[in-house]
A = this chain, B = another copy of it.
Amino acid sequence: MQRRCRYRRAARSEHDLTPLLFPFIHFSTTMTDHPSLDLATFAAQLRFDTIPPDVVERTVNLYVDWLGSALAGKGARPVETIAAFARRAAPGHGVGAGGVAEVLIDRTRTTPYFAAMVNGAASHFAEQDDVHNGSVFHPATVVFPVALALAQARGASGRDFITAAVAGYETGIRVGEFLGRSHYKVFHTTGTAGTVAAAATAGRLLGLSPQQMLDAFGSAGTQASGLWEFLRDAADSKQLHTGMAAANGLMAAELAADGFRGATRILEGAQGMAAGMSSDADPARLVDRLGERWATAETSFKYHASCRHSHPAADALLAVMGRERLGASDIARVTAHVHQAALDVLGAVVVPRTVHQAKFNMGTVLGLVALHGYAGVNEFEGGFDAAPVAAFRDKVEMAYDDEVERAYPARWIGKVTVTTHDGRRYAGRVDEPKGDPGNTLA
């Protein structure tokens, strides 16, 4: 933690021309040896006019993308169950009783806490919300529910909304990168890092001081949770993780505004998040080029409505089928060459029992792609378990691949080997799956 970067906490002189000369850089003094504080300070002091215009534009697009995912949660059983719980827990909602924040799936209004909870749950259901590759973290589903709820509650400006969202993205992505790959093997990073991201978003909209933001991180981090175990049962926990990350992060920031103290080193401390939940955490990642590198703009849209770990192989299969003019019926076997995390997350599902579980089954995703050219919401809901899809599913295997593993998570390379019924073998490959910043959606 001795590295230096441009960084500032004190107020800037009015005669300082730096903002005009370097509008993207507003950190100019030395970093401390306290990365949690550095990150909290960045989140608390982020100003709209220091965010590059392309990052602002990207954030607007990520918001619009998120709205679609949030609306797509309407009618989903786990989402509606959480919404029903929220209605029971805060029965006095409505505008006159603190109901100032909108629940998107039914346009009702409730308190920010429950709006964040329900919208956070809703927007992670379709598995089409955005993803940041390097942190393997889905920012939108924990950031925008909080930003929307508090912006509505406080009548915040669009600029404040965007600034708070960017604070959440920059924070959550760095926390996810910091927690590392050992963390992701067992923990759903969007639940854990997401709680801190939600706190950063809420804290920025509440106008927390750096010290208060650090308190918010403390209260958020000590509540960080989310385990992958649910995957093998087709259980509903994924929506619970994102809903509660949003709600708990919002709560943490509200408590901090009210003087509730949190651990000052919840991320990197000897009994903090990394100590308990990671074996390869790197504190330098928490403060990686704060104010210079805009991780928000590195975030990918999701083209297919499935677990991101299936996308590289899906696109590689599409590429080889297009190039060799193969139909699904020509194919006898597909090997998807994947990184270890894909095996960890997708390996739990063999025969999917629900639409949601099917999104974590490589064979189903490749079957939908081979048969329909796309694995979208309608393709899953219309026939994840249709006979041709199930038949294709059984032709698919995953195999660990060293090249893919070494590139991951900075790059998500897709590699497949396709064998036809008449014995031909083809290799398919994509270096950037569709939706990545270098191969973005139109």
Closest beta carbon of chain B to A343's beta carbon, Å: 12
Q: Is A319's CB within 8 Å of the partner chain B?
A: no
Q: Is B92 a contact partner of A227 (Cβ separation < 8 A)?
A: no
Find A113's partner among B77, B89, B241 (CB 8 Å cutoff). Answer: B89
Q: Is B90 a contact partner of A89 (Cβ separation < 8 A)?
A: yes
Find A226's partner among B111, B222, B230, B236 (CB 8 Å cutoff). Answer: B222
Q: Is A265 a contact partner of B223 (Cβ separation < 8 A)?
A: no
Q: How large is the interface on A (under 10, 10 to 19, 20 to 34, 35 or more residues)?
A: 35 or more
Q: Is A235 a contact partner of B261 (Cβ separation < 8 A)?
A: yes
Q: Is A391's CB within 8 Å of the partner chain B?
A: no
Q: Is A228 a contact partner of B271 (Cβ separation < 8 A)?
A: yes
Q: Is A251 a contact partner of B91 (Cβ separation < 8 A)?
A: no
Q: Is B93 a contact partner of A92 (Cβ separation < 8 A)?
A: yes
| Complex interface residues of chain A between 247 and 273 (CB less than 8 A to chain B) | 248, 251, 254-255, 258-266, 269-273
Q: Is A240 a contact partner of B227 (Cβ separation < 8 A)?
A: no
Which among A3-11, A45-53, A78-86, A432-440 touches the partner chain? A78-86
- What residue in chain B is nearest A262 (Cβ atoms)? B235
List B contacts of A112 (CB < 8 A).
Answer: 89
Q: A91-B111, A218-B233 are in contact. List 12 more A-B contacts (CB 8 A).
A: A82-B255, A88-B113, A89-B251, A215-B235, A219-B236, A230-B261, A230-B262, A232-B269, A236-B261, A240-B255, A244-B248, A277-B277
Chain A residues in the interface with B (C-beta under 8 A): 77-78, 81-82, 84-85, 88-94, 97-98, 111-114, 185-187, 191, 215, 218-219, 221-237, 240-241, 244, 248, 251, 254-255, 258-266, 269-273, 275-277, 344, 348
